[in-house]
Amino acid sequence: MGLRGYLVKRLMYSFVLLFFVLALNFVIFELMPGDPTALFASPGRLRPGDPERVKKLWGFDQPIHIRFAKYIVNMLTGQFGNSYISGGAISEEVSARLLNTFLLVGLSTIFSVLIGVILGVIAAHRRGGLFDSVSVVGSLVTYSLPTFWMGMIFILVFSLRLGWFPDGGTSSFTAMNPPPNILVDFSDRLWHLFLPCLVLTLFQYGGYLLLTRATMIETLTDDYILTARAKGLKERTVLFKHALKNASLPLITTAAISIGFVLSGAIITEQVFRYPGLGWWTWKAIGYNDYPVLHCIFYLTALCVIVANFIADFLYGIIDPRIKYG
């Protein structure tokens, strides 16, 4: 089977997997304990007939197969329904928070992959030396520290004590006090983004460093690496063009999964820095049993993971021609 046939086959599998994800996403919240209608009015203010009116308003009085059909239509069309708490369209609320999450989680993921891979290659090349020891210990320390603890320490030092960065939020400007121009607004957003992005980068890069180091050490002992060095190639070319290319398959898988979870947001970090992204929104939805919002977040996350893994499978054959599709 060629690459084209393999991609068609994987695409069909992805659609089947997506349907099972949608079904599981619906069943999980149907089986969860608690009654979402209890959030719409306190017991002391409920009047006779109020529970029935609320259930009818949100469709809880309909048979489960009708609600499942509406849920599937909402997910596949990108409407996602309305939030129990705000009553607004979930698609609009997602759009309002999507850019913040892309900037925070997307940039931190890109930085952590680049930093981890580059330092991992250098550590493998200098294995047993001072740089290798320091980089491995440092990555293990930052990888093991809780993100909320690092966030609070950074706020204490760089915001409250030194005053270099704000302690949270996404902008210093408001609707009543808009920025003078787009350049000022952009720089202000980067200023607010620095600390939470730094926390996530420090937390994530260690995993890529250790994985790159392990795969590179195994690859650097192969015969073709000795041949490349015997030909007089520069060490940088040997490391990054030959060794890293053949050691990158596990890295592609790990990076694809990380990128797939971009839309899930960084729940803990966004809470610490009061960052209004999808992670903070997810936390609030969990606290209020806002099931339509959770349906949307989990569906988008699963969809991104499926797409990211599909792209990773495609890249395998491009990077390593030894892979045969069957």
User: Would the pLDDT of 70 be above 80?
Assistant: yes
182-219 helix and 107-125 helix, angle to the nearest 10 degrees: 30
User: Would the pLDDT of 133 be above 70?
Assistant: yes
User: Would the pLDDT of 185 be above 70?
Assistant: yes
For residue 305, the one-letter residue type is: V
User: Would the pLDDT of 40 be above 60?
Assistant: no
Residue 82 DSSP SS3: strand
pLDDT score recorded for residue 38? 60
Residue 254 in domain: yes
Q: Where are the alpha helices (DSSP H) in the chain?
A: 3-31, 50-58, 64-77, 90-101, 107-125, 130-144, 147-154, 182-219, 223-230, 235-237, 244-247, 249-260, 267-272, 278-287, 291-319
Across 165-193, average pLDDT: 79
**38 and 146 share a domain?**
no
**62 and 98 share a domain?**
no
Residue 197 tokens read as 């992005």
Q: Which helix (H) or strand (E) holds 190?
A: helix 182-219
For the ranges 7-16, 52-61, 186-195, 243-252, the maximum mean pLDDT occurs at 186-195
**173 and 240 share a domain?**
yes
Residue 266 in domain: yes
**198 and 295 share a domain?**
yes
User: Would the pLDDT of 173 be above 80?
Assistant: no
Domain with 116, as residue range(s), is: 91-319
pLDDT score recorded for residue 153? 92
Across 86-104, average pLDDT: 83
pTM to 2 decimal places: 0.78
Residue 205 in domain: yes
- Name the domain boundary from 77, 106, 124: 77
**112 and 66 share a domain?**
no
Number of domains present in the structure of the chain: 2
Q: Report yes or no: 112 and 164 within 8 Å, Cβ to Cβ.
A: no
The Cβ of residue 280 has, within 10 Å, a number of other Cβ atoms equal to 22
For residue 176, the one-letter residue type is: M
Percentage of residues in the chain with pLDDT exceeding 90? 6
Place of tokens 């979402």: 36
**95 and 244 share a domain?**
yes
User: Poorest-confidence range of 50-64, 165-179, 234-248, 286-300?
Assistant: 50-64
Spatial separation of the C-alpha atoms in residues 195 and 150, rounded to whole Å: 10
Place of tokens 């939020």: 169
Q: List, for residues 258-286, the tens digit of each pLDDT value.
A: 776 666 657 888 888 888 888 888 888 88
Q: List, for residues 202-253, the tens digit of each pLDDT value.
A: 988 888 899 888 888 888 877 777 787 788 788 888 888 778 877 777 887 7
The torsion region of residue 275 among left (phi > 0), alpha (psi -120 to 50) and beta comes to beta
Tell how many helices (H) and how many strands (E) occur in the chain.
15, 0
User: Would the pLDDT of 113 be above 70?
Assistant: yes
Residue 187 tokens read as 């720089």
**Which of 116, 133, 132 shows the shortest CA–CA distance to 124?**
132
Q: Report yes or no: 251 and 211 within 8 Å, Cβ to Cβ.
A: yes
Q: What is the mean pLDDT of the chain?
A: 80
User: Would the pLDDT of 150 be above 70?
Assistant: yes
**Which of 215, 213, 193, 219 shows the shortest CA–CA distance to 277?**
193
User: Would the pLDDT of 172 be above 80?
Assistant: no
Residue 55 binned pLDDT confidence (cut-offs 50, 70, 90) = low
**124 and 257 share a domain?**
yes
User: Would the pLDDT of 1 be above 60?
Assistant: no
Find the CATH number of the domain harbouring 304. Answer: 1.10.3720.10
Residue 184 tokens read as 């000022």
User: Would the pLDDT of 33 be above 80?
Assistant: no
Spatial separation of the C-alpha atoms in residues 94 and 163, rounded to whole Å: 32
Place of tokens 């290798």: 132
**96 and 59 share a domain?**
no
Residue 149 DSSP SS3: helix
Q: List, for residues 308-326, the tens digit of each pLDDT value.
A: 877 877 777 666 655 555 5
Instruction: Compute CA distances 60 → 35, 66, 149, 279, 294, whole Å.
Output: 10, 10, 41, 27, 17
Q: Report yes or no: 88 and 269 within 8 Å, Cβ to Cβ.
A: no
Residue 7 in domain: no
**59 and 184 share a domain?**
no
**150 and 41 share a domain?**
no
Residue 3 in domain: no
Residue 249 in domain: yes
Q: Where are the beta strands (DSSP E) in the chain?
A: none
**62 and 174 share a domain?**
no
**58 and 102 share a domain?**
no
